[in-house]
Amino acid sequence: MNAADDKTIVREYFNSTGFDRWRRIYGDGEVNKVQLDIRNGHQQTVDTVIGWLKADNNLAELSICDAGCGVGSLSIPLATEGAKVYASDISEKMVTEAKERGVQALGNSENPTFAVQDLESLSGNYHTVICLDVLIHYPQEKADEMISHLCSLAQSRIILSFAPKTCFLTLLKKIGSFFPGPSKATRAYLHREADVKAILERNGFTIQRTAMTKTRFYFSRLLEATRQSAE
Ligand code: SAM
């Protein structure tokens, strides 16, 4: 399967069965045990990122690009904290849901802005570019291109999460219990941390903070990398 096929499949998935599944996981209604585990794991990843940004005490001064924003799980709290957030996602359905959640949380605010756009076609410049739990849908070669493009949009900082290619997860993936839902409809790709770090470094970034979220069914390695701001 080539990368273009991966992208088409991912877009269609998140506009159909994937939308229904992930909207529920990223919500607060009743879900099954596996989905609840993934919901809690994902929330930990979101909370870690928010914690990092809040600790710097300058959120209200930041412009943030949330690439592959889903239903706004990160964008909405960041906007609530005062950051200027430009959120986008390849799936129209996810973006429509994100907009509704944004209105519920913040009223008819212009912040965050939500757009239907694949991250490869994003342009502009943001203090911080964030891309959570998106790379899992793409093979390493494509992920490298995506990361390089995201780096080109980031003035100072990039924050990425991915499912790390460890012996344990490779085994789980083989026996089919890793990300059990989506892996049936879309492929789940694991990435070697060394490869992700190498592409960030090649783009002039230096790793700063790292974290790992690990629950029964959710595994996400989080990296923050910065470069000397051009400002
Ligand atoms: N980042 C969000 C979060 O953590 O709450 C959503 C994560 S969800 C597992 C993956 C999201 O990535 C989906 O909403 C999907 O539509 C989006 N996505 C996948 N490929 C994309 C691409 N090439 N460009 C933009 N969004 C993409």
Section 10-26 average pLDDT: 95
| pLDDT classification of 174: cutoffs 50, 70, 90 | low
Q: Which residue has the higher pLDDT, 170 or 25?
A: 25
State the complex-level ipTM. Answer: 0.99
Domain residue limits, the chain: 3-166+177-226
Ligand 1 mutation target, pool 5, 44, 90, most atoms within 8 A of CB: 90
Adjacency order of strands within the sheet including 113-116: 113-116, 84-89, 63-67, 126-131, 154-162, 219-226, 206-214
Mean pLDDT across the stretch 146-151?
98
Ligand 1 pocket: which of 89, 121, 179 to mutate (most atoms <8 Å of CB)? Answer: 89
3-state secondary structure of 227: coil
Q: Is the shortest distance between the CB of 6 and ligand 1 below 6 Å?
A: no
Instruction: Give residue-wise pLDDT tens across range 130-142.
Output: 999 999 999 999 9
pLDDT of residue 57: 95
Contact assessment for residue 39 and residue 25, using Cβ atoms and an 8 Å cutoff: yes
Task: Determine the pLDDT at residue 152.
Answer: 98
pTM (2 decimals)? 0.94
Q: How many Å apart are CA 69 and CA 95, to the nearest integer?
A: 8
Note the pLDDT tens digit of each residue in 4-15: 688 999 999 999
Q: What is the mean pLDDT of residues 27-54?
A: 97
Q: CB of 134 closer than 6 A to ligand 1?
A: yes
CATH superfamily for 3-166+177-226 is Vaccinia Virus protein VP39 (3.40.50.150)
Dist. CA 70 → ligand 1 center (Å): 5
* pLDDT tens per residue, range 73-121: 999 999 999 999 999 999 999 999 999 999 999 998 899 999 999 999 9
pLDDT at 109: 84
**The pLDDT of residue 51 is above 70:** yes
Rounded CA-CA distance 211/216 in Å is 17
Q: Whose CA is nearest to atom 26 of ligand 1?
A: 68
What's the pLDDT band for 183 if we cut at 50, 70, 90?
A: very low
Asked whether the beta carbons of 125 and 61 are under 8 A apart, the reply is no
Is residue 85 within 6 Å of ligand 1 at its C-beta? no
